[in-house]
C-alpha cells in the first residue's frame, strides 16, 4: 500500500510566506498529482509525525517563493490535497494587522473574510463548466474546526513560551496585491470591520468549501499595514524581518496539534463537517450537462459525479 494512501493522509497543511517546509517532521516522500486544474504550486511533501501518522504539506508560493499571490494555482492545490485523501486543511498565512491590539508576531484564527480580490483568480471548480453550483459561504471557515483549534493552538503557543498571543473571531480582508494597500484603503478596511489583511485566503477557502474540505487559517501577523498615522506604511522588508520567527512558531504549533487533528479527522464529526455540504448546492443532473465536465468534477466530488 502506498504511504500516502487515501486512508492515511487526512490532514493537509498549507504553508505561506516564510513557511516553505515542516522540517521539524520526518520527510517521507514528495508526490506531485496532476489534477484536471493542473499541477499544485509545488510537489506535496508527505511528512511523518513521531507516531508514524502521515500529513501532507504544500508550500502555497512554492519553495523559494516563486509564485505571486494572484498566480497561486489554488484549484490544483485543493484538488491535489483532496486526491491524497485529505479531509481537513490547516492553512498558515503571513498577514498585516489592522488593529493596535494585534502586534506583529501575534497569531489569529479569523472567522470572517472581506473579499477585495479583483476577479482575476479562478475562484470556483465549476467555472466555465456546464454544471452550476452555489456553495454556502456565510461562514467561510469551518467553524467546528476553528473552535476545535482555538484552545489547542493557544496551549501550543503558551508551551512554546515566546509570549505569542492568539486572537480569535477576527475578520480578514483578502486583497489582490501584489502591491500593498494605500493608507486610504487600510483605513477604509478598518472602518469596514477588518482586523487582518492578506493576499491569499481567497480563493483557497472557497475552493476548500466546494471540495467539501474542512479549512481554517492561522494568520500570523507581520506588520501594521498602512493605517497608523505617524508610522511608515508597510514594506516587504518589514514583513521579512518577522517571517522567520513566525514560521518557527507555526512549525511548533503544527507539530503540537497535528497528531490530535489527524485522530479527530479519522473519527469524523466536527473536523469533517463539510462532507455532504455540496449535496444541495449543485444544480440537479440534466442531459445538458456535459459528460466531460462531470468527469472533471468527479476528481474532487466523486460522490456526486462518478
Ligand X SMILES: CSC[C@H]1O[C@H](OP(=O)(O)O)[C@H](O)[C@@H]1O
Ligand Y SMILES: Nc1ncnc2[nH]cnc12
Partner touching 16 among ligand Y, ligand X, none, CB below 5 to 8 Å by kind:
ligand X
Q: 225 labelled as ligand-binding?
A: yes
- Render 185-230 in DSSP notation, one character per residue: HHHHHHHHT--EEES-HHHHHHHHHHTT-EEEEEEEEEE-TT--TT
Q: 106 labelled as ligand-binding?
A: no
- Residue 217 engages ligand Y in binding (rule: CB under 6 A): no
CA separation for the pair 301, 289 (Å, rounded): 16
Least Cβ distance, residue 129 to ligand X (angstroms): 28
Least Cβ distance, residue 52 to ligand Y (angstroms): 35
Quickly tell me which residue has 494555482 as its cell.
73
The region of 18-26, 93-101, 102-110, 244-252 touching ligand Y under the rule CB under 6 A is 93-101
Q: Which of 106, 115, 195, 225 is catalytic?
A: 225
Partner touching 58 among ligand Y, ligand X, none, CB below 5 to 8 Å by kind:
none
Q: Residues 135-138: contacts with CB within 8 Å, 24+ apart? A: 135/206, 135/209, 135/210, 135/277, 135/278, 135/281, 136/209, 136/277, 136/281, 137/205, 137/206, 137/209
> Is-contact 207 78, C-beta < 8 A?
yes
Whose CA is closest to 33, among 18, 49, 12, 15? 12
The region of 6-14, 20-28, 34-42, 217-225 touching ligand Y under the rule CB under 6 A is 217-225
| 223 labelled catalytic | yes
Q: 94 labelled as ligand-binding?
A: yes
CA separation for the pair 208, 272 (Å, rounded): 12
> Is-contact 220 249, C-beta < 8 A?
yes
Whose CA is closest to 221, among 84, 64, 108? 108
Q: 99 labelled as ligand-binding?
A: no
Return the C-alpha cell found at 188. Answer: 477604509
Least Cβ distance, residue 223 to ligand Y (angstroms): 5
Q: Which of 106, 115, 195, 223 is catalytic?
A: 223
Least Cβ distance, residue 281 to ligand Y (angstroms): 30
Q: 230 labelled as ligand-binding?
A: no
- Residue 199 engages ligand Y in binding (rule: CB under 6 A): yes
- Residue 223 engages ligand Y in binding (rule: CB under 6 A): yes
- Residue 201 engages ligand Y in binding (rule: CB under 6 A): no
Query: What's the CA angle centered on 182, arms 177 and 185, to 5 degrees?
Result: 90
Q: Could you tell me the end-to-end alpha-carbon distance of the chain, in angstroms, rounded to an integer?
A: 24
Q: 71 labelled as ligand-binding?
A: no
Query: Of 195, 212, 225, 274, which one interacts with ligand Y (CB under 6 A)?
Result: 225
Least Cβ distance, residue 74 to ligand X (angstroms): 11
| 291 labelled catalytic | no
> Is-contact 135 278, C-beta < 8 A?
yes
Query: Of 157, 197, 207, 253, which one interacts with ligand Y (CB under 6 A)?
Result: 197
Query: Of 12, 15, 96, 140, which one interacts with ligand Y (CB under 6 A)?
Result: 96
CA separation for the pair 59, 20 (Å, rounded): 5
Please identify the residue of the shown chain whose CB is closest to the bound ligand Y.
96
**Residues in contact with ligand Y, total (CB under 6 A)?**
13
CA separation for the pair 135, 21 (Å, rounded): 31
Partner touching 60 among ligand X, ligand Y, none, CB below 5 to 8 Å by kind:
ligand X
Q: 152 labelled as ligand-binding?
A: no
Q: Give the binding site for ligand Y (CB under 6 A).
A: 94-96, 175, 180, 197-199, 222-223, 225, 234, 239
- Catalytically active residues, by annotation: 223, 225
Amino acid at each position: 500500500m502506498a504511504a500516502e494512501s487515501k486512508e492515511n493522509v487526512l490532514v493537509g497543511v498549507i504553508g505561506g510566506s516564510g513557511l516553505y517546509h515542516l522540517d521539524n517532521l520526518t520527510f517521507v516522500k514528495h508526490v506531485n498529482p496532476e489534477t484536471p486544474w493542473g499541477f499544485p504550486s509545488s510537489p506535496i511533501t508527505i511528512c511523518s509525525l513521531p507516531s508514524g501518522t502521515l500529513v501532507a504539506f504544500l508550500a502555497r508560493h512554492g519553495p523559494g517563493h516563486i509564485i505571486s499571490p494572484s498566480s497561486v494555482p489554488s484549484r490544483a492545490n485543493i484538488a491535489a490535497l483532496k486526491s491524497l485523501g485529505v479531509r481537513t486543511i490547516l492553512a498558515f498565512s503571513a498577514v498585516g494587522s489592522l488593529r493596535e491590539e494585534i502586534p506583529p508576531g501575534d497569531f489569529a484564527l479569523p472567522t470572517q473574510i472581506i473579499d477585495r480580490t479583483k476577479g482575476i483568480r479562478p475562484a470556483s471548480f465549476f467555472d466555465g463548466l456546464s454544471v452550476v453550483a452555489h456553495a454556502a459561504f456565510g461562514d467561510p471557515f469551518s467553524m467546528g474546526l476553528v473552535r476545535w483549534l482555538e484552545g489547542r493552538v493557544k496551549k501550543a503557543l503558551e508551551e512554546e513560551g515566546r509570549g505569542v498571543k492568539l486572537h480569535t473571531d477576527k475578520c480578514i480582508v483578502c486583497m489582490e496585491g501584489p502591491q500593498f494597500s494605500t493608507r486610504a484603503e487600510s483605513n477604509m478596511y478598518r472602518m469596514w470591520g477588518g482586523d487582518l489583511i492578506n493576499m491569499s485566503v481567497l480563493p483557497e477557502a472557497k475552493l476548500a468549501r466546494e471540495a467539501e474540505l474542512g479549512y481554517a487559517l492561522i494568520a500570523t501577523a507581520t506588520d501594521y499595514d498602512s493605517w497608523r498615522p505617524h508610522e511608515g506604511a508597510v514594506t516587504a522588508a518589514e514583513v521579512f524581518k518577522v517571517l522567520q520567527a513566525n514560521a518557527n512558531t507555526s512549525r511548533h504549533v503544527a507539530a503540537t496539534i497535528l497528531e490530535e487533528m489527524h485522530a479527530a479527522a479519522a473519527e469524523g464529526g466536527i473536523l469533517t463537517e463539510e462532507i455532504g455540504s455540496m449535496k444541495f448546492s449543485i444544480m440537479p443532473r440534466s442531459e445538458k450537462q456535459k459528460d466531460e465536465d462531470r468527469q472533471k468534477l468527479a476528481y474532487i466530488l466523486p460522490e456526486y459525479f462518478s
